Amino acid sequence: MVDIKSISTEQRNKLTKNLDVSSTVEILKMFNNEDKNVPLVIEKVIDKIALAVDSVTNCLANGGRLFYIGAGTSGRLGVLDASECVPTFGVSSDMVIGIIAGGDVALRHPVEGAEDDELAAKNDLMKYQLSANDFVIGIAASGRTPYVVAGLKYAKSIGAKTASITTSHNAPVSKVVDFPIEAVTGPEPLTGSTRMKSGTAQKLILNMISTTAMVKLGKVYENLMIDIQMSNKKLESRAVSIVVEVTGVDDNVAQAHLDKYKSVKHAIFAIISKIDDAKEIKRILDLYNGNIREALRHNIL
């Protein structure tokens, strides 16, 4: 049996013991007051997150991949963050990969015993031919989920860098990884329901890790998404707005360049550098690993 009492996220919250006899507004205020503490908890571990981000960035810059592994809510959050990197930063779907215990069916349905299946974690990572060039982040509220711990042990055994995101103090998984992150959110307002404060903390940290890494990889200019995929009308409009914002041209000129180059980054570079050959633009940007600031700095007289 698991020693539930030793896990902070499983303990009872004294401030919410009257949930079932409270009014709707009172319940919502309790939840909101508990949620307010989450960013403050994360603030305490910013330095730990930074160490992980720098290592993730180095991994991705050198052709490695970032994996998230988790079970239940934690696994779903990892899959969500990985999925959103594709349209947001224009990366391939095999650059950031989310793996959930029990497979994709577990995204919508509970899979009994999946979080306890240690062998499955190794097998799931092996399916992607995990290598020493990759980085694996385990996500687990309790920090003891067997699937996650086993996956991280396997990753370390082949030389991959590892990190963990937990919301419990002195979590077992923290002793396994290179970069432990413990954002201790305390007892949940609904006892044991780690989809609440714990899940919120994990989501915020995942956002921070992936977004900061992409910023450092040159996927962002100022605070604009210059590698977004123009996959719907809203993103097409956003692309035009970004080109206009950076270069100062009007909407028609921005649209013409986007039509020609099919890329926000390439359109911006073409307008500012006054280089109009698509192959030359690609060659220059590739030379600077897609970092538009560096490419512009070295190619504008």
Catalytic residue set: 84, 115
- CA nearest to 89, candidates 240, 254, 212: 212
C-alpha distances in Å from residue 246, one per residue of 25, 33, 232, 292? 45, 40, 21, 12
Contact 205, 138 (CB under 8 A): no
The rounded distance, in Å, linking the Cα atoms of 11 and 189 is: 10
Q: Give the integer Cα–Cα distance in Å for 18 and 1.
A: 29
Element (DSSP H or E) covering residue 100: strand 96-100
Scanning the structure block, which residue is given the tokens 């490695």? 64
Report the distance separating Cα 268 and Cα 87, nearest Å: 19
DSSP per-residue string spanning 244-269: HHHH---HHHHHHHHHHHS-HHHHHH
| CA 34, chain centre distance (Å) | 23
- Compute the distance between CA of residue 198 and CA of residue 167 in angstroms, rounded to an integer: 6
